[in-house]
């Protein structure tokens, strides 16, 4: 459990992201946590680079929005989105984060002395975090987050020829320590910016550990290229049944990370959140601006909270040849051609409308079907 969120053991794959505001700017960071939660983020990681920022971190923990529905934040009984602290080098910051109410800490033990990792584990085990909904409190969770860029000194040579092997060795070394110390509330990650290395490392790790795995491709790049790398890397692993929480790392707005993560889960049929707009690629038969129509439908569905949470399939098709058949199989759909289009509702042809009225009519139909 990461606070109220189950991780591993057959639980649904949880979506994580990380804030990119200055943690000390409590209001800006809280606004980002709320935006992430509204987009479907279930675990939010926040860096804690200095002890001066611990009070702001504590504020975030207190004010974190309700899990699964950010508009419900007023309800004190609702489980809150758990906040995880990201710590490197300074073990005392991990203790400060635990003290401030963190549901989890992500540490890279290779950057710390073993006795200090032991201190963190002891504090995590002794600190109770609410799991919400009448459940018993849980300990602070720990992620042993190994990265290709920060391996322990003795594994760096091995990494040059066998990066996956070195990553896994580092993770297992620390997992073994936590096992010896009797601490089981941990998960592992072995991220690399190389997609093949990431896939190979997690496959190797899955064969050698039953611990829950946090999966991602680190430093994946901009929204465009990072989305592709993440979809390939995370997608390949999830398709193999590997991965209990995921984070898409993008150089951009973290809300985009959450949107991409949900798209990956939906594409694999693992979890759905919000509408899935399917649209044709257009071809020489296309007689309307199908690109504009599809983008407008997606944007307007996203912008309306009551619709953004509906698990529906909406088809936007560009002609009368294949379009009607595809649109018929979706929950709602339009098949447009020659300045007009047909509106479909659960396979039924509803009416033919001018192109300019199609999107309004489609959205009205979806709203009415709530
Ligand atoms: Fe072309 Fe029609 Fe297929 Fe769209 S649905 S790609 S317009 S044939």
| Ligand 1 contact, 284 CB (< 6 A) | no
Per-residue pLDDT tens for 180-204? 999 999 999 998 889 999 999 999 9
Tell the CATH topology of 276-368. Sulfite Reductase Hemoprotein; domain 1 (3.30.413)
Q: Give a three-class secondary structure readout of the chain.
A: CECCECCCCCCCCEEEEECCCCCCCHHHHHHHHHHHHHHCCCEEEEECCCHHHHHHHHHHHHHCCECCCHHHCCCCCCCECCEEEEECCCHHHHHHHHHCCCCEEEECHHHCCHHHHHHHHHHHHHCEECCCCCCCCEECEEEEEEEHHHCCHHHHHHHHHCHHHHHHHHHHHHHHHHHHCCCCCEEEEEECCCHHHHHHHHHHHHCCCCCCEEECCCCCCEHHHHHHHHHHHHHHHHHCCCCCEEECCCECCHHHHHHHHHHHHHHCCCCCCCCEEEECCCCCCCCCCHHHHHHHHHHHHHHCHHHHCCCCEEEEECCCCCHHHHHHHCCEEEEEECCEEEEEECCEEEEEEEHHHHHHHHHHHHHHCC
Domain ranges, ordered by start, for the chain: 14-267, 276-368
In this chain, the answer to whether the domains covering 14-267 and 276-368 adopt an identical fold is: no
Q: Which residue among 278, 279, 280, 289 is best mutated to probe the pocket of ligand 1, counting the most ligand atoms within 8 A of its Cβ?
A: 280
| Ligand 1 contact, 282 CB (< 6 A) | yes
Per-residue pLDDT tens for 193-247? 899 999 999 999 999 999 999 999 988 789 999 999 999 999 999 999 999 999 9
Ligand 1 atom closest to 326 (CA)? 5
Ligand 1 atom closest to 320 (CA)? 2
Ligand 1 atom closest to 280 (CA)? 4
What is the distance in A from the centroid of ligand 1 to the CA of 198? 37
Per-residue pLDDT of the chain (370 residues), as tens digits, is: 999 999 999 999 999 999 999 999 999 999 999 999 989 999 999 999 999 999 999 999 999 998 875 444 445 667 899 999 999 889 999 999 999 999 999 998 888 889 999 999 999 999 999 887 778 899 999 999 998 777 888 888 888 889 999 999 999 999 999 999 999 999 999 988 899 999 999 999 999 999 999 999 988 789 999 999 999 999 999 999 999 999 999 999 999 999 999 999 999 999 998 899 999 988 888 888 889 999 999 999 988 888 887 899 999 998 877 778 877 889 999 998 888 899 999 989 999 999 899 999 999 999 998 5
Is the domain spanning 14-267 CATH 3.20.20.20? The answer is: yes
């Amino acid at each position: 459990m990461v606070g109220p969120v189950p991780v591993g053991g057959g639980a649904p794959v949880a979506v994580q992201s990380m804030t990119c505001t200055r943690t000390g700017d409590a209001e800006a960071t809280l606004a980002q946590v709320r935006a992430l939660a509204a987009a479907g983020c279930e675990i939010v990681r926040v860096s804690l680079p200095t002890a001066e920022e611990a009070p702001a971190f504590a504020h975030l923990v207190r004010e974190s929005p309700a899990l699964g529905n950010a508009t419900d934040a007023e309800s004190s009984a609702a489980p809150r989105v758990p906040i995880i602290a990201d710590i490197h080098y300074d073990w005392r910051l991990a203790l400060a984060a635990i003290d401030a109410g963190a549901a989890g800490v992500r540490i890279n033990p290779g950057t710390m002395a073993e006795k200090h990792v032991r201190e963190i584990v002891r504090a995590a085990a002794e600190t109770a975090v609410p799991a919400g909904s009448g459940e018993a409190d849980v300990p602070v969770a720990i992620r042993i987050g190994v990265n290709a860029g920060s391996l322990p000194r003795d594994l760096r040579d091995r990494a040059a020829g066998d990066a996956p092997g070195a990553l896994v060795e580092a993770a297992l070394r620390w997992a073994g320590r936590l096992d010896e110390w009797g601490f089981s509330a941990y998960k592992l990650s072995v991220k690399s910016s190389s997609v093949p290395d990431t896939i190979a490392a997690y496959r190797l790790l899955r064969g050698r550990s039953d611990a829950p795995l946090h999966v991602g491709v680190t430093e994946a790049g901009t929204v465009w290229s990072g989305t592709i790398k993440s979809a390939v890397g995370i997608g390949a692993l999830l398709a193999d049944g590997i991965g209990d929480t995921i984070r898409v790392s993008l150089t951009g707005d973290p809300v985009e990370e959450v949107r991409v993560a949900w798209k990956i889960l939906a594409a694999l049929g693992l979890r759905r959140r919000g509408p899935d707009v399917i649209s044709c690629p257009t071809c020489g038969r296309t007689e309307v601006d199908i690109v504009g129509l599809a983008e407008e439908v997606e944007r307007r569905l996203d912008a309306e909270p009551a619709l953004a949470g509906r698990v529906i399939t909406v088809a936007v098709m560009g002609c009368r040849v294949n379009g009607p058949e595809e649109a018929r199989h979706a929950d709602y759909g339009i098949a447009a051609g020659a300045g007009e289009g047909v509106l479909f509702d659960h396979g039924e042809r509803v009416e033919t409308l001018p192109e300019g009225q199609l999107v309004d009519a489609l959205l009205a139909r979806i709203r009415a079907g709530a």
